[in-house]
Each structure stands twice: as structure tokens, then as C-alpha cells.
Amino acid sequence: MSCMVRAVVVRAPGTNCDVELCRAFAMAGAAVDLVHLDRLCESPGRLDGYDIVGFPGGFSYGDDIASGRVYAVKLREKVYPALRQAAARGCPMIGVCNGFQVLVQAGLLPGPAAGEPWPDVSPEQSIALTDNQDARFHDRWVGFDVNPASVCLWTQGLLEELADQTRVRLTHQFPAAHGEGRFVTASAAILDRLEQQGQVVLRYADNYNGSQNAIAGVCDASGRIFGLMPHPERFLDWNRHPSWTRLPREMIEGSQTPGLKIFRAAVSACVAAVG
């Protein structure tokens, strides 16, 4: 994979998956920089030099007020115009766990309806990740289903695996660790729009946190901005799987993990766009 693709991971105090996200982009073939959110607030135009943007998980700013709230406010107030321009030029973005919470509070997800332009000001929040239904923090591996009708760029490699149900059952799992991961929408109309436009990307196989429609991840209408609660960047190597010694050797040898496939799909799309 060519390193002509440049990715940036935007860290903040309390994010703790920065290095894993950087490693994911590097393994996928991108050149990656780790940049503090404050540096981006000082100079939002820095985003113009990047092809992909990543927002890592963790507990940004201690999750004061609510998970991802302080980080999201800074994005809305200081960086949204640059993010809007990046989205308009087709820049893929991903937010994982806390990063997903940030994207929805900053108005980048679910984004404008298909065919509509990005607004000049940050959209009002219409979806949220709130307290798990049992009000407990869960740290576990979770199974997920890929929506075959999804328009998401990031999961194209996973869609190709759906015909092999044995592989899907054994390997379509990611670590998850959150107390505020239950997906909810402001109205039934918004949920219907997400379903109809292919913006629902991943569903929990076991909807342990009570998310609406078991939703674990969504994208914008273009399929380029993707947010999910489980952590693909923590499953880049087969030996991270909790049962990896029991996985059939012929299934995993020479193949990529589902986590790595997510990042390679985005980098490959950027390489193809450059030509």
C-alpha cells in the first residue's frame, strides 16, 4: 500500500487509544501523524494536508459533564468549518468509542441527508450515545453483524465475508469498553432515515447495552464518516482474539483481521481517488 495517503489522529487529554489508532493506519499503509486537539484548534487549516482523520477512544477531558462533551464543544467552536471542508472533499473520518461520542455531539454524524450539502454551522445533535441500559460499564468482546445494505466505505472488506457464515460467526468480534454506548435517536423519523439510507453499519449480535435497533455503528450518507462503539483498532492481529488458538489455521493464515480490513478499506479508497 502506498504511503501517499496521510492520516491524522487527533488526541486530547484522556484519550487512551491514540497509539492503537495510529498503528492501525500505519498497518493499513498510510503515513500517520498524532496531533493534539489544541494544535488543531489553533490552526484548523492543518486538516487540508490530510486524507483521513481519526478520533480515538478513551476518556477525553475525563468525560467531564458527559462522555466526549468537552472535546466535541472544542470541535464545534474551533474546527467545524475545516471539518466541513474535509467532508465536502470526500475525506474519510472515523470515530471509535469516545471518538464516536465526539462525532455525534459535534454534528458530524449522522450528517446531512443524501444529496444535501454540509451546512455552514455545525448541525444540531440528533443522535446520541447514552448510559447503557443497566447503567454499568462493560468491558468485553462483542459480536457484530454488518448491514449488507450499508453504504459505509470502511466496511466494504467485511461485506465481502458475509457469504462465509462460519468465518463471520468466529471472527466478527471486537473489544468494547464503555458505560455510555447505548445508541438512541431524537425521533423515529431519524431512525427510519438512517435505516433507509444505508447509514446503519454495524449491529450488536447480543444487544447488551440496549441500543435502538441494536445499532453499534453508523455512517453519514456518503459512507465516508464512520462512528462505532466497539474498537477495531484493538483487533489488528489474530493473536488479540480471545479464542485465537481455537480459530481454524486455514481460515486466518495469510488473512487480515476484521479490524485491519476496516482501515485498509479507507486507505485503499484514498489511493484509488488519487489515481
Separation CA 103–CA 127 (nearest Å)? 10
Q: Judge whether 231 counts as a catalytic residue.
A: yes
Backbone angles phi and psi of 71, in degrees to 5: -60, -45
Q: Which residues contact 239 (CB under 8 A, 6 or more apart)?
A: none
Selecting among 17, 22, 91, 97, the annotated active-site residue is: 97
Q: Are 86 and 270 in contact (CB under 8 A)?
A: no
Of 105, 71, 143, 113, nearest to 222 by C-alpha is 113
DSSP code of 76? I
| Residue pointed to by grid coordinates 471518538 | 99
3-state secondary structure of 9: strand
Q: Which of 172, 233, 241, 270 is catalytic?
A: 233
Catalytic pick among 172, 231, 241, 270? 231
Residues catalogued as catalytic: 97, 231, 233
